[in-house]
Amino acid sequence: MTTRYLMRLGKTPFDVVDPFLTLERNLLGTNSGNLVYGAAAHKLFSTADTVVDANRYRINAGMAAQVNDEYDGFILPLANAFRPEFEGQLLRTAQFLERLTIPFLLLSCGAQLPLDGDPTALKAMEPTVKRFARAVLNGSSALSVRGEMTADYLASLGFRDVVVVGCPSLALHGPGHRVEVPQALRPGAPIAYNLETKDPFGGDLVEDAEARYRATYIPQEHGTLELMLWASEPYAATDPRLPLERTHPQFTAARAELFIDAYPWIDRLSGMDFSFGARAHGNIAAVLAGTPAVMLAHDSRTLELARYHGIPSLVRGTDPEPGTVQELYAHADFTEFNRGHAERFEALSRFVHDNGFTHIYDAGQEAALADYEQRVASTDFQPAVRPTWLADPPATVQRHAVLQDREVRRKKEQAELRRTASARAAKNDDRLSEMGRRLDAAEKGLAAARPRIEAAERRAAAAEERALAAERRLATAERTLTKVARQAGDAFHRAERAVRIPTRFRDAVSRGRRER
């Protein structure tokens, strides 16, 4: 019998979609890093006779009944879910989980905090986070999180049933994965780098990478995918050394590569000698490829993942930032990663088992694992996306960019309307649920009170019967009283007549005497 799981994914690893539709349908969830942990989660639960479907990022309370009917379990891989811009989605997810009757599993989540862990920015969304956490704990043994900073945040809200499992992406190759680091990075070697486009930094390192190595920029965000497909300008660049504008050599020379499938991305990084940058999964993809990487940690997301998994990292603003790639490469020490990877995998495995699920690296799943990896090898994935507009005339490029900018603005306006409508719908759903709970409570109260009501009704009926009997007796008494009164009246009249007879006799005698 086939087991069917639904998983929160934009697409499964085997859904091959072209770049334009990927952008249009937001199959990356705005960031291709989602592909990496999505691929690992999909593989992990693809055990023998199991089918794992993607929910396409659609989730709301109204879906729960159908999911309960059609699936045997729900898997929820999340990244930095505790952040203000994700609150609407988190609320809908909580409402959905509250209505699930099938087993479900939260496969790690994280809080987006500054490096010092200060949760002030999340204060306004605490009710939503608490509701989500309670919904998870109602069906799971614990809240699984990416690192200690998220665990500390949840503890500050009163939640103690928390287990740190890191990011499921590092489970892609099972417990035996290692990264070997060559002693030296030779000049001119192929290397990759990535950027945090919302807060770009590392200009000196990028400049050195471009000058001394065969450097490839591997972006991850929708904005850069849009730039590469439509020549738009989504970023306000302040450092010309960083690849944020279409005039950068990474784009004009078609060296930048953006991947819309996880496995080609990892395979490409296996041919690199080194990777660095501020993107967590850009560097994790390199680690999965067996390529040394150093993470430039700039917030709690990157820092707690690097710390937990033993991925080499430098903390922005705390550690001195190297000015050259060679200096950065000296920090690529994977001793801790290699030492503790199997132990960390076991922690994730134990959490999965504690909640009644099995995974593809369990004993007895060897055939399922081989079949899955063969399926990956035989899938014809999309190639890396490169700029599509290099051969077009400048006027055409500019026209496409202007039209795309307009389209993006329209989509943002529509997205804001959808978010507003969704928030209202979620609140209305909560109100309806609350009304339903109150109605249920009222019905339960009525059911509990029914015996007392019925007893009162019986007492009232008996009292009414007694009252009717009393009325009948009263009517009888009134009739008797009327008869007695009539008889008394008759007797009175007879008495009056009896009194009047002697008087008339006396009068007659007196008249007779006078007449004599």
Long-range contacts, stretch 234-241, CB < 8 angstroms, 24+ apart: 234/408, 235/197, 235/200, 237/200, 238/200, 239/200, 239/203, 241/203, 241/206, 241/207, 241/210
Closest Cα to residue 36, out of 13, 20, 57, 16?
13
Burial of residue 294 (number of CB atoms within 10 Å: 0-12, 13-18, 19+): buried
pLDDT digits (tens, 9 = 90+) for 9-36: 999 999 999 999 999 999 999 999 999 9
* Cα-Cα-Cα-Cα dihedral sign, residues 139, 140, 143, 146: negative
Q: Show Cβ contacts of residue 170 under 8 Å, excluding neighbours closer than 6 positions.
A: 40, 177, 284, 287, 288, 309, 341, 344, 345
Q: Show Cβ contacts of residue 492 under 8 Å, excluding neighbours closer than 6 positions.
A: none
The position carrying tokens 């307009």 is 406
The position carrying tokens 């489970």 is 171
This prediction has a pTM of 0.81
Q: What is the C-alpha to C-alpha distance for residues 40 and 55, in angstroms, rounded to an integer? A: 16
One digit per residue, pLDDT tens: the chain, 516 residues? 899 999 999 999 999 999 999 999 999 999 999 999 999 999 999 999 999 999 999 999 999 999 999 999 999 999 999 999 999 999 999 999 999 999 999 999 999 999 999 999 999 999 999 999 999 999 999 999 999 999 999 999 999 999 999 999 999 999 999 999 999 999 999 999 999 999 999 999 999 999 999 999 999 999 999 999 999 999 988 999 999 999 999 999 999 999 999 999 999 999 999 999 999 999 999 999 999 999 999 999 999 999 999 999 999 999 998 999 999 999 999 999 999 999 999 999 999 999 999 999 999 999 999 999 999 999 999 999 999 999 988 888 887 878 877 777 777 777 677 667 766 766 676 677 667 677 777 778 777 778 887 887 788 788 788 878 878 887 787 788 778 778 877 777 776 676 665 666 566 656 666 665
Question: What was the pLDDT predicted at 501?
Answer: 59
Q: Quickly count: other Cβ atoms within 10 Å of residue 102's Cβ.
A: 17
What separation in angstroms does the CA of 109 have from each of 99, 133, 204? 20, 11, 33
Cα three-residue angle 365-291-37, rounded to 5 degrees: 50
Sheet of 50-54, strands arranged across: 50-54, 3-7, 73-77, 104-107
| Contact yes or no for 275/292 (Cβ under 8 A) | yes
Closest Cα to residue 205, out of 316, 289, 312?
316
| Contact yes or no for 453/445 (Cβ under 8 A) | no
Percent helix, strand, coil in the chain, to 5, is 55, 10, 35
Amino acid, res. 43 = K
Q: What is the C-alpha to C-alpha distance for residues 119 and 114, in angstroms, rounded to an integer? A: 8
pLDDT digits (tens, 9 = 90+) for 425-471: 666 766 776 676 777 777 787 777 788 878 877 887 887 888 788 78
